[in-house]
Amino acid sequence: MSLPENYTLTILGAGVMGSAVLSAILKSKPSPFPSHIYCCTGSSKSADRLQSTYGDAISTSYGTNNAEAVRKADVIILGCKPFLCQAVIDSVKDALNDKQIVISLLAGWTIDQLSSAMGNPNIARVMTNTPAKYGCGTAIVSFAPVLQGSESVAVRDAVMALVDTVGMALELPEKNMDAATSLVGSGPAFVLLMMQALAEGGVRMGIPYEVAKKCAAKVMEGTAKMVQESGEHPEALKSMVCTPGGTTIGGLMVLEDKGVRGAISRSVEEAADIAAKLGKK
């Protein structure tokens, strides 16, 4: 299976996530690049907003006109809210066909559920996060069994190229999707809590909040870059910062005494368990 050279991309539900992915695609121009991009919304207000933001790069539609945009699609990015998904699919049902490639951004909907709702086995399930809006998102992609063979390598490459534009895309089996929903989807909220706590520590010791916030954000960004670029284990980098008898080892011992490491790891476990339960509803 492969994609036509000048393929058409339709984003069915171009809200926060759908338009974050759209911005990333337009900015990064992945190859193969769609020859036409349609963005579908539920209301004229959202369609008008998208049209004025992206101009000629896209066409927009809403309501009953969405069916036409879906009929033309070779690739559909599904970006509606999970609880509206069945209604959105029903509203364009006659325009769907089983040759289209569907990239779902929805939390909770499994490949099997999407496949039977859409009458199409060609599903790629994606979990990404809001930093995608800034080109710094993380995305985990799982492919339906029918797309896993060597004959579908071109489709997988095209999907990965589209999704990678958000920042970084990695492939995992679908059994890891609940964990990905937690680590990747909820991860920014966990990191923001840590960032706020660092900043408040600075404020407690007399640093003005705006300065403390900027420092906390840059410390986290710089530390992440250090891990990514050095390839070193975080424990090794951490021990390099610890001068014997110094400040850092003292602070780290307080974090260990308070069980912060376990609490952060368990927060990923808890959110993954909740994601698994949502998927069964």
Ligand X SMILES: NC(=O)c1ccc[n+]([C@@H]2O[C@H](COP(=O)([O-])OP(=O)(O)OC[C@H]3O[C@@H](n4cnc5c(N)ncnc54)[C@H](OP(=O)(O)O)[C@@H]3O)[C@@H](O)[C@H]2O)c1
Q: Which residues bind ligand X (CB under 6 A)?
A: 12-18, 40-43, 46, 66, 79-82, 84, 88, 91, 105-107, 128-130, 185
Report whether 28 contacts 21 (CB < 8 A): no
8 is in an annotated binding site: no
- Give the whole-angstrom CA distance, residue 220 versus residue 239: 17
Whichever of 152 and 164 has its CB closer to ligand X, that residue is 164
- The token duo for 121 is 């086995």
Whichever of 71 and 81 has its CB closer to ligand X, that residue is 81
Handedness of CA 269, 273, 274, 275 (dihedral sign): positive
14 is in an annotated binding site: yes
13 is in an annotated binding site: yes
In angstroms, give the least distance from the CB of 210 to ligand X: 25
Whichever of 18 and 167 has its CB closer to ligand X, that residue is 18
Report whether 137 contacts 23 (CB < 8 A): no
- Within 29-101, residue ranges assigned H as helices are 44-54, 66-71, 85-91
- The token duo for 160 is 């990965």
Whichever of 138 and 152 has its CB closer to ligand X, that residue is 138
Q: Using the 8-state DSSP alphabet, how is residue 184 labeled?
A: I
- The token duo for 248 is 């850092």
259 is in an annotated binding site: no
In angstroms, give the least distance from the CB of 87 to ligand X: 6
* Residue with smallest beta-carbon separation from ligand X: 15
240 is in an annotated binding site: no
66 is in an annotated binding site: yes
17 is in an annotated binding site: yes
Question: What is the phi/psi pair of residue 123, to 5°?
Answer: -110, 135
In angstroms, give the least distance from the CB of 143 to ligand X: 18
In angstroms, give the least distance from the CB of 165 to ligand X: 16
Whichever of 177 and 212 has its CB closer to ligand X, that residue is 177
In angstroms, give the least distance from the CB of 3 to ligand X: 23
- Give the whole-angstrom CA distance, residue 99 versus residue 74: 7
Whichever of 114 and 212 has its CB closer to ligand X, that residue is 114
In angstroms, give the least distance from the CB of 127 to ligand X: 6
Handedness of CA 159, 165, 166, 169 (dihedral sign): positive
The residues that bridge with 123 in the sheet, in sequence order, are 102
Report whether 60 contacts 34 (CB < 8 A): no
Task: Point out the annotated binding site.
Answer: 12-17, 41, 66
Task: Point out the annotated binding site for NADPH.
Answer: 66
Task: Point out the annotated binding site for NADP(+).
Answer: 12-17, 41
